[in-house]
Amino acid sequence: MRIDIVTIFPEFFSVLDVSLLGKARVDGLLDVHVHDLRSWTTDRHRTVDDTPYGGGAGMVMKPEPWAQALSAVLRDDGSSTLVVPTPAGRPFTQAIARSLAADTDHLVFACGRYEGIDARVFEWAASRCSVVELSLGDYVLNGGEVAAMAMIEAVGRLVPGVVGNPESLVEESHEDGLLEYPSYTKPAVWRDLEVPDVLLSGHHARVAAWRHEQQVERTRRVRPDLLPDDTAR
């Protein structure tokens, strides 16, 4: 999978050189390129923003640098997906992460700052690629970079080969519509707190049943909204 990121803070994404995603880049599983939006400005001050039409506080990102930048990174065949992290987007979920990891091989992240990017950029881009506006949650960040980083990690880790043991991707929160069960490791007793006996029983069927019960109980307690209506909440 190729990932292009357009931002005015390219240094923000140096973290993509470490850990699993960093190794995936070295292994050629992820091909990540970070671009400075200001590379596509033409004035001495490398201006990327201006005052909003209609008035209001803050500044809006100018359309032309974005159009130049996206023209340089979007594929000509329309196969790119432009991801716009924004609080005004659809909620980013594990299902969306799975879909992006499985169905796209080129993601372009447009990281806005200030009050956002001139809306015409996305109208223009929609004739050249799929445009998806996605929100990390119902809160506002100072820009799209933190959200893009989270989305890149959530999608990148699902690309085959990035996570060493694919089994570890299966029993995770939201993979089956439930929150994950609690996990334990040695010692069996720690500060007078014991690991549940069933996990020491070696009885795989009982362990599996207990873990599912824990998932349902935790989901009912913490995220009842995730449970189907016909499940007793």
Binding residues for S-adenosyl-L-methionine, as ranges, are 112, 136-141
User: What is the nearest approach in angstroms of ligand JBN to the Cβ of residue 66?
Assistant: 16
In the list 7, 86, 215, 219, the residue contacting ligand JBN (rule: CB under 6 A) is 86
- The one-character DSSP state at 92 is P
Contacts 24+ apart (CB under 8 A), 131-134: 131/81, 131/82, 131/84, 132/81, 132/82, 132/83, 132/84, 132/89, 132/90, 133/84, 133/86, 133/88, 133/89, 133/90, 134/83, 134/84, 134/85, 134/86, 134/89, 134/90, 134/91, 134/92, 134/96
6 binds ligand JBN (CB under 6 A): no
Distances in Å between the Cα of 29 and the Cα atoms of 5, 98, 156, 162 are: 17, 16, 9, 7
How far apart, in whole angstroms, are the C-alpha atoms of residue 19 and residue 141? Answer: 24
| CB nearer ligand JBN, residue 65 or residue 85 | 85
Residues that contact ligand JBN, how many (by CB under 6 A): 11
Contact between 57 and ligand JBN by CB under 6 A: the answer reads no
Q: Which residues contact 206 (CB under 8 A, 6 or more apart)?
A: 198
Distance in Å, CB of 142 to ligand JBN, minimum: 7
Q: Binder to ligand JBN among 56, 78, 137, 166 (CB under 6 A)?
A: 137
* Biggest alpha carbon–alpha carbon distance for the chain: 70
Contact between 6 and 35 under an 8 Å Cβ cutoff? The reply is: yes
Supply the minimum distance, in Å, between the C-beta of residue 176 and ligand JBN: 25
Asked if residue 136 binds ligand JBN (CB under 6 A), the reply is yes
x-or-dash string of contact with ligand JBN, 94-133, rule CB under 6 A: ----------------------------------------
Is residue 144 involved in binding ligand JBN (CB under 6 A)? yes
Shortest Cβ 94–ligand JBN spacing (Å): 15
Residue closer to ligand JBN, measured from CB, 53 or 139: 139
**Binding footprint of ligand JBN on the chain (CB under 6 A):** 85-87, 135-137, 139-141, 144, 147
